[in-house]
Amino acid sequence: MKIDKNTINKIARLSRIKLDDKESEDYINDLNSILDWVEQLNEVNTENVEPLSNISSSILPKREDVSNDSNSIEEILENAPDKLEGFFAVPKVVE
């Protein structure tokens, strides 16, 4: 078994998703069966194969180096759950 209780807790922590015990159990099972299934890729010989990360055949285009002013503070903050004096507000992080 690749994913045990410790591993699921570690991944959940890295993902910043709180899981209860029941969910942890379910995800341990789900993830193990998915990982077992994807392991068939080990049958494929990929020696000397370059990984493909970007399928786009186009070359990154350049743009004119001019400033633009498309983002306003009001617009950016418009959907914020909590804001204060032009900033996003979050729970206190220092005592």
Partner 1 sequence: MSKSSLKQTLKDLEAKKISIRELNQDYLKRIKENENLNVFIHFSEDNVLKQIENLENDNSAKKLKGIPIAIKDLFCTKSMPTTAASKILENFNPTYESFVTQKLLDEGSIFVGKTNLDEFAMGSATNTSFFGNTINPLSKENEPLAPGGSSGGSAAAVAADLCLGATGTDTGGSIRQPASFCGVVGIKPTYGLCSRWGIAAFASSLDQAGIFSHNVEDASILLQSIAGFDQRDSTSAKVDIPNYFENLDDDLNGKTVGIPKEYSIDGTPMEISQIWEEAIKVLEKKGVKIKNISLPHTKYALPTYYIIAPAEASSNLARYDGVKYGFRSDEINSLDEMYENTRAQGFGREVKRRILIGTYVLSAGYYDAYYLKAQKVRKLIADDFNRAFKECDFIVTPTAPSAAFPLNEKQNDPIKMYLNDVFTVPASLAGLPGISIPFGKDKNNLPLGIQILGKHFDEQQVFNAAVSLERSYE
Binding residues for partner 1, per CB under 8 A?
3, 7-8, 10-12, 14-19, 23, 27, 30-31, 33-35, 37-44, 46, 49-58, 60-61, 63, 75-76, 78-82, 88, 90-91, 93
**How many CB atoms lie under 10 A from the CB of residue 23?**
13
Cβ proximity to partner 1: between 57 and 67 the closer is 57
Task: Decide: 25 and 54 in contact? Cβ < 8 Å.
Answer: no
Backbone dihedral angles phi then psi of residue 83, each to the nearest 5 degrees: -145, 160
Angle at which helices 21-38 and 5-15 cross, to 10°: 100
Give the nearest distance from C-beta 61 to partner 1 in angstroms. Answer: 6
CA 79 to chain centre: 21
Give the nearest distance from C-beta 86 to partner 1 in angstroms. Answer: 14
Cβ proximity to partner 1: between 1 and 35 the closer is 35
